[in-house]
Amino acid sequence: MSVVMDRSPEVRKASLRAQSNQSAPVYRGPERLHVADQEWTLGNCLAKINWLHAPILVLPPLATIYALYTVPLLLKTLVWSIIYYFITGLGITAGYHRLWAHRSYAATLPVRIFLALAGAGAMEGSIKWWSRDHRAHHRYTDSEKDPYAVKNGLLYAHLGWMILKQNPKRIGRSDITDLNADRLVMWQHKHYLKIATFMAAVFPTLVAGFGWGDWMGGYFYAGVARLVFVHHATFCVNSLAHWLGDQPFDDRHSPRNHFITALLTLGEGYHNFHHEFPTDYRNAIRFYQYDPTKWLILFLSYLGLTKRLQTFSENEVQKGMLQMEQKKINERSMKLKWGTPLDKLPVIEYEEFEERSSTEPLILVSGIVHDVTPILESHPGGRAMIRSGIGKDMTAAFNGGVYDHSNAAHNLLSTMRVAVVRGGMDVETWRKMPSQDHLTGIIGK
Amino acid sequence: MSVVMDRSPEVRKASLRAQSNQSAPVYRGPERLHVADQEWTLGNCLAKINWLHAPILVLPPLATIYALYTVPLLLKTLVWSIIYYFITGLGITAGYHRLWAHRSYAATLPVRIFLALAGAGAMEGSIKWWSRDHRAHHRYTDSEKDPYAVKNGLLYAHLGWMILKQNPKRIGRSDITDLNADRLVMWQHKHYLKIATFMAAVFPTLVAGFGWGDWMGGYFYAGVARLVFVHHATFCVNSLAHWLGDQPFDDRHSPRNHFITALLTLGEGYHNFHHEFPTDYRNAIRFYQYDPTKWLILFLSYLGLTKRLQTFSENEVQKGMLQMEQKKINERSMKLKWGTPLDKLPVIEYEEFEERSSTEPLILVSGIVHDVTPILESHPGGRAMIRSGIGKDMTAAFNGGVYDHSNAAHNLLSTMRVAVVRGGMDVETWRKMPSQDHLTGIIGK
Ligand code: HEM
Ligand code: HEM
Ligand SMILES: [Fe+2]
Ligand SMILES: [Fe+2]
Ligand SMILES: [Fe+2]
Ligand SMILES: [Fe+2]
C-alpha cells in the first residue's frame, strides 16, 4: 500500500485559482485608496502610522532602557517580574489563543476571568480583536488576507502590521459569532483600556509597592520591562514560528516547528503542527517538547477547572508526518536515475534479441532486454557467470535460479534496459524455472 | 513518481522457491551420512571435531591466560603487538577479503606479497580456502549452503563452523578459477602451514627478541595473544555483523551495519552495505564512518601501489537506501486508518444523497459522500461552516472556495467516507467553482 500524497491535479488547480482570487487586487470603484495601500510619501508617512499601537510598542522599550540606568533592580522585583511575565504570557497563549481563538478546550468561569485579566495585562488588544485577526490568520495564512503574513517580511509579521495602519477591507473575514455571544469576552472588549492599563501597569506596581516597598521597580520592571518581553515573545509566534524550523506536517505554507521558538513563546513554537491541527489544545505532542501552556491547561483539567480538552488522534498526526516523509522520498527519488521507463523502450522480437546478442552483450530478464556492458568486467559474480547469460533469458537464473540477486543488483539491472521483447512481459518464463537447473547443476542436486 | 519497491509477486515466489530448493534436504543415495550431519552421540562427538582447527582456536586463548600470569608485558612489546595486530588484521580485511575474495581493487606485486604474508600471520587458512568459503557465504547468505550462516546461532557463525567438521557437500559452490590461476595465491596455499607458522609465531618473536631482547613477550604477546585478538575481531564479521545493527539497504537477509562492529573489525562492520555492494572497495561510504581498511587501500592508491578501486555509484547507493525507507513508510502506513478504500464504498444516486442528508450529516466532496458526525461539534472552522455544507456538494468550498483545507483536513475527511455518488467521480464540479463564490461573498469581491 502506498501513501496517498498529492491531491489530484484538478484539486490543486482549483485551489490555486481560489488562492489567487484571494490575493487579486480588489476593485473598489472610484473612491480613494486606503492610506495603507498608498505609496510612501513625505506627506502620508505620519498618516500611515497607527497612533494607538505605535506608542504602546515603542515607548516601553525606551522606558526600559531609561530604567536600567536609573532604577535599581531588586531580586524580589526580578522574581516577581518573571512570575508576572509567565502569568500575562499564559493569559495570551492559554487564554486568548488556545481558549478563545481556537476553542481547543473549555474552562470554568474563574479560569476564564483569570485568563481574560492576565491576557489584558499583555497589552495586545481585547480577546475579541485579537481572536478575529488570529482566525483570519489561520484561514488565510500567507495570503493577502492574512493580517500578519510573513511573506511581507519578518519584521512586518513581528511588528509592522501593528505599527502601520491596515486597510480593514484587506484583512480576511472570520467568524466570531461565538465570541460576540460571550459576555465575559464582550465585557473585556468594552472596558479594555481600563482593564489593560490596570493589569499591565497598576497591578504589578501595587504588588511590588505594598509587598516590599519597591514602587519604582514594580512599575518599571514588573510593569514596563515585563511588557516588552511578553510582547516580543508572543509576537515571535507570528514572525519566527513562520520562518525558523522544519515542517513535518505540511510544507505548502510557512508555519514551522522549532524548539527555540517554543522556548521563547511559552510552547507556541510547534507551529507547523498548530496550523495543521489548530483546535488541538496541545502545540507540542511529545512529552519531551517544551509546551508550558499545554502543561497548564492539562494541570487545570486535573483540578476540574478546564474541560473537554480537544486532541487530534495519533492516527491523524501520524498520517500527516508520513505524507511529508513520502513527499521527501519522492523528491529524492526523482533526482535519481532508475533506468528508462518500460513504456519508453522500443519493442523488439525475440529473434531480433537473439540476433543482436551475437555482437552486443544483451541479456533478457523478465521480458526486458538489458545491455550489460557496464558490468561485463566488474560483475561481482564473476565474468564467466555474466558471459554465460548473453543472448539468453536469464530471468530465473537472476532471481534465484543461480543467484538471488540483491535489491542493488535489480536496481543496477534496471539502468541497463534497452528494449522490451514482444509478448515477453507475461513472465511465462517463471513457470519454466526448474528446468533451468542445468545452468549450474547445484539446485535440487 | 513513486519508488519501485517490491518485486512482482511472480518474482518473489520464484525466488522463494529457489531458496527453498537450496535448503531442502539433499538426497545422497544409500551412502552413510557425513559425520557433520549425524546426531550428536557419545560415540561420534570426538569425530565431529575438526582436529586441525580446534587447537588453533582453543590453545592460544589458554596460552594467553597462562602468559598474563607468568610473562611480564613490556611497553615496547605491547606497542609492537598492537601494530602487528593491525598488520595481520589488515592482511585479512584488505588482502584476503577485499582484494582476493571480492577483487574490489587491483594491487601491485609488492603489496600482494605483503598482504599474502600478513594475512597468513592471522592463521585463518590460505587465501584460496578462505575466499572459496567467503564467496559461498555471499552467494548463499543465510541459506543451508552458507558456510557460516548466522541462522545456526551466533556462536556457530563466530567459531562453531570451524571447530566442528563440515560436510563439504553442504557448502555452496563458488567460482574461484581466478584464484586458481593466481601464482601468488597458489604458492601461499601450497606452503601455507610453513608461512603461517612463521608469520604468526616466529616473526613477531624475532622482532621483539632481536629488537629489545623480549623473546618470551614477543612470542606470547605479539604472537599468541595478538592472534587471539585478530581471530575474534575478524570472526565478528561473520557473527556480530550478521546480528547487530540496522539494515539501510536490504532487510531480506541478515547482514547489518553497526559502528561497534566496524570498530572491532577494522572497518568491516558496515556489512549490510557490503553484502549489497560486495565489489565496492569501501565498506563505509561516509567519511565519518570508521573503515581503516578502506583508508589503507585509498592511501596506497595515492602511492600508485593499488589500482582500479571499484565503487558503486552514489546513484545506486541512494536507490537502495530510498527503497528501504519506502518500505518502512509503507509498513507504518499500513498500520494507520486511511478510511474505506473507494472501491469498497457503496454507490448511491445523487438523489439518495440529498434525501438521506435530511436526517444524517452528509457532505459531498469530490464525488464521495462523507458522514461528518465526528467533526460536527469540533470542526475547527466552526459549527456554522460545516452545517452549511450538509446535503451539498462542498468540493470547491472545501478545497479553497471557502477555505483551502490542510493535508490533515483531507486525511480526516477520508476517514469519514460512506458512499460514492454515481458519476460523481468525474470532478465536473470543479469547473463550476467560480459560481460557488456566493457561499461566502468574500472571494472575488
Ligand atoms: C544481468 C545483469 C546482472 C547484474 C546487473 C548483476 C549484478 C550483480 C551484483 C550487483 C552482484 C553482487 C551481489 C548482489 O548485489 O546481489 C551479483 C552477484 C552475483 N551474480 Fe550477478 N548480475 C547480473 C547477471 C548475472 C547472471 C546472468 C548470473 C548467472 C548466470 C549472475 C550470477 C551472480 C552470482 C553467482 C553472484 C554472487 C557472487 C558472490 O557474491 O560471490 N549474475 N550480480
Ligand atoms: C467535510 C468535512 C470537513 C472537515 C473534516 C474539515 C476539517 C477542518 C480542519 C481539520 C480544519 C483546521 C484547519 C486545517 O487543518 O486546514 C478546518 C478549518 C476550516 N474549515 Fe473545515 N472541514 C470540513 C468541512 C468544512 C466546510 C464544508 C467548510 C465551509 C463551508 C469548512 C470551512 C472551514 C474554515 C473556514 C476553516 C478555517 C478555520 C480557521 O482556521 O479559523 N470546513 N476544517
Ligand atoms: Fe501562525
Ligand atoms: Fe493559532
Ligand atoms: Fe557476511
Ligand atoms: Fe565479503
- How many other β-carbons are positioned within 10 Å of the β-carbon of residue B259? 14
Of A385, A440, A376, nearest to A412 by C-alpha is A376
β-sheet bridge partners, residue A399: A404
Inter-chain residue contact A173 with B399, CB threshold 8 Å: no
Q: Is A181 on the interface with B (CB under 8 A)?
A: no
Instruction: State if residue A280 touches ligand 2 by the CB under 6 angstroms criterion.
Output: no
Task: Provide the pLDDT for residue B25.
Answer: 53
Give the closest residue to A311 by CA, choosing from A325, A298, A324, A330. A298
Q: What percent of chain B has pLDDT over 70?
A: 88
For chain A, how many residues are written? 445
Quickly state the pLDDT bin for A8 (edges 50, 70, 90). Answer: very low
pLDDT of B286 > 80? The answer is yes
Residue A441 has pLDDT above 60, yes or no: no
Non-local CB neighbours of A32 within 8 Å, separated by 6+ positions: none
pLDDT at B139 over 80: yes
Among B377, B386, B394, B411, residue to substitute to test ligand 2 (most atoms within 8 Å of Cβ): B386
B26: burial class by Cβ within 10 Å (0-12, 13-18, 19+)? Answer: middle
Q: Which atom of ligand 2 is nearest to the CA of B413?
A: 5
User: Whose CA is closest to A157, among A60, A259, A271?
Assistant: A271
Which grid cell sits at B21?
530448493
DSSP 3-state assignment of A368? Answer: strand
Least confident of A2-16, A164-178, B234-248, B296-310: A2-16
* Contact: A404, B15; criterion CB under 8 Å: yes
- On whether any CB of chain A is under 8 Å from the CB of B22, the answer is yes
pLDDT given at position B399: 92
The strand pair at B417-421 and B368-371 is best described as: antiparallel
- Protein residue whose Cα sits closest to atom 14 of ligand 1: A406
Cα distance between residue A262 and residue A242, in whole Å:
12
Question: How far from A180 is each of A119, A128, A279, B33, CA to CA, in Å?
Answer: 18, 8, 19, 91
User: pLDDT at position B400, please?
Assistant: 87
Report if pTM > 0.90: no
A427 touches chain B (CB under 8 A): yes
Judged by CB atoms closer than 8 Å, whether chains meet at A276 and B329 is answered as: no
Q: What is the pLDDT of residue A216?
A: 96
Q: Are A80 and A208 a contacting pair, CB within 8 Å?
A: yes
- Residue with cell string 483570519: A136
- The H or E element that residue B421 is part of is strand B417-421
* Ligand 1 close to Cβ of residue A418 (< 6 A): no
* Chain B touched by A384 (CB under 8 Å): yes
CB contact under 8 A, B407 and A312: no
Please report the pLDDT score of residue A40 as a whole number: 82
pLDDT, one tens digit per residue, over A120-157 is 999 999 999 999 999 999 999 999 999 999 999 999 99
Residue A406 clears pLDDT 50, i.e. is over it: yes
CB within 8 A of B317, min separation 6: which ones?
Answer: B249, B273, B277, B285
Report B:189-248 residues touching A (Cβ under 8 A): none
Query: What is the Cα–Cα distance from B382 to A176, expressed in whole angstroms?
Result: 9
Q: Is B422 exposed, middle or buried (0-12, 13-18, 19+ CB in 10 A)?
A: middle
Q: Does A435 touch chain B (CB under 8 A)?
A: no
Q: What is the pLDDT of residues A323-348, one digit of tens each?
A: 999 999 999 999 999 999 988 999 99
How far B214 CA sits from the closest chain A CA (Å)? 46
Instruction: Give the E-state strand segments of B222-377 in sequence order.
Output: 306-307, 347-348, 362-365, 368-371
Q: Give the number of whichever ligand sits closest to the CA of residue B410.
A: 2
* A436 confidence band (pLDDT: 50, 70, 90): very low
Give CA–CA dist B322/B5, Å, rounded: 9
B117-129 pLDDT per residue, tens = 999 999 999 999 9
Alpha carbons A158 and A153: distance in angstroms, whole number: 9
Torsion angle in degrees (nearest 10) through CA of A17, A20, A21, A24 = -150
Largest separation between any pair of C-alpha atoms in chain A: 103
Q: Is pLDDT of B428 > 80?
A: no
- State the complex-level ipTM: 0.79
Tell me: pLDDT of B206 over 80.
yes
**One-letter identity of residue B277:** F
With contacts defined as CB-CB under 8 Å, which chain A residues touch B8? 366, 427
Chain B, 41-100: which have a CB under 8 Å from a chain A CB?
none
Residue of B nearest to A279 (CA): B380
pLDDT at residue number B26 = 55
Confidence bin at B39 (pLDDT 50/70/90): confident
Average pLDDT over residues A212-238: 96
Q: Closest ligand 2 atom, CA of A174?
A: 41
> What does the pLDDT average to over B24-35?
63
The reported pLDDT for the residue numbered B30 is: 54
- Predicted local distance difference test score (pLDDT) of residue A331: 93
Closest CA to A366 of B4, B17, B10: B10
H helix intervals, B41-157: 45-48, 53-70, 75-90, 109-120, 127-139, 154-155
B24 with A444: Cβ contact below 8 A: yes
Q: Average pLDDT over chain A, rounded to whole?
A: 88
Residue type for position A432: K
- Let me know: does A255 contact A242? Beta carbons within 8 Å: yes
Q: Work out the percent of chain A whose per-residue pLDDT is above 90.
A: 76
Q: Give the whole-angstrom CA distance, residue A422 versus residue B128.
A: 45
Question: Confidence class of residue A36 from pLDDT cuts 50, 70 and 90?
Answer: confident
- A244 vs A259: CA distance, rounded Å: 10
* pLDDT of amino acid A424: 60
Residues B167/B31, Cβ–Cβ less than 8 Å: no
Do residues A375 and A381 lie in contact, with contact meaning Cβ atoms separated by under 8 Å? Answer: no
Under a CB-based contact definition with an 8 Å cutoff, are residues A401 and A436 in contact? yes
Task: Please state, in angstroms and as integers, the Cα–Cα distance from residue B148 to each residue in B31, B32, B162, following that order.
Answer: 26, 24, 9
Judged against a pLDDT cut of 80, whether residue A25 lies above it is answered with no
Q: How many CB atoms lie within 10 A of CB B200?
A: 25
Residues of A in contact with B320 (CB under 8 A): 407-408, 411
> Is residue B173 within 8 Å of B136, Cβ to Cβ?
yes
Please state, in angstroms and rounded to a whole number, the distance separating the CA atoms of residues A333 and A324.
Answer: 14
Helix (H, G, I), strand (E, B) or coil at B369: strand
Q: Contact A408/B22, CB-based, under 8 Å? A: no
pLDDT greater at residue A43 or residue A243: A243
Q: Which residue's entry shows cell 629489545?
A: B212
Mean pLDDT, chain B, integer = 88
Average pLDDT of the segment spanning A259-270:
96
Cβ atoms of A116 and A188 within 8 Å: the answer is: yes
Which stretches of B235-380 are assigned E, i.e. beta strand? Answer: 306-307, 347-348, 362-365, 368-371
B282/B267 Cα distance (integer angstroms): 9
Of B16, B18, B408, the CB nearest to A316: B408
Taking an 8 Å cut-off on Cβ atoms, the answer to whether A334 and B1 are in contact is: yes
How far is it, in rounded angstroms, from Cα A217 to Cα A223? Answer: 8
Strands A417-421 and A347-348: parallel
CA distance A104 to B97: 62
> Rounded to an integer, what distance in angstroms lies between the CA atom of residue A174 and that of residue A181?
15
Q: What's the CA gap between B226 and B192, in Å, rounded?
A: 19
pLDDT at B267 over 50: yes
- How deeply is A7 buried, as exposed, middle or buried, from its count of CB atoms within 10 A (0-12, 13-18, 19+)? middle
> What is the pLDDT averaged over residues A81-102?
98
3-state secondary structure of B388: coil
- Ligand 2 centre to CA of A378 (Å) is 58
Instruction: Decide if pLDDT at B42 tops 90.
Output: no
Q: What pLDDT does B27 receive?
A: 56
Q: Determine contact: A172 vs chain B, CB below 8 A.
A: yes
pLDDT of B31? 62
pLDDT of A337 reads 93
- Decide: helix, strand or coil at residue A418: strand
DSSP conformation class of A434: G
Ligand 1 centroid, distance to B311 Cα (angstroms): 15
Nine cell digits for residue B76: 615496547
Find, in chain B, the residue whose alpha carbon is nearest to that of A432: B14
Instruction: Ligand 2 pocket test: pick from B371, B372, B385 the residue with the most ligand atoms within 8 Å of its Cβ.
Output: B385
In angstroms, the Cα distances linking A46 to A41, A42, A152, A263 are 9, 8, 20, 36
Say whether A236 sits in a helix, a strand or coil: helix
Q: Give the whole-angstrom CA distance, residue A89 versus residue B66.
A: 72
Per-residue cell: A235: 509576537
Distances (CA, A) of A307 to A180, A301, A304, B207, B228: 22, 6, 7, 81, 67
Give the pLDDT of residue A31: 62
**Do A120 and A188 meet the contact criterion of CB atoms below 8 Å apart?**
yes
Distance from C-alpha of B219 to C-alpha of A175, rounded to nearest angstrom = 88
pLDDT the model gives residue A293: 98
Residue of B nearest to A431 (CA): B14
pLDDT at B6: 42
CB spacing of B322 vs A330 below 8 angstroms:
no
Cβ contact (<8 Å) for B17 and A276? no
CA distance A147 to A169: 11
Q: For residues B14, B18, B19 and B21, what is the CA-based torsion angle, rounded to 10 degrees?
A: 140
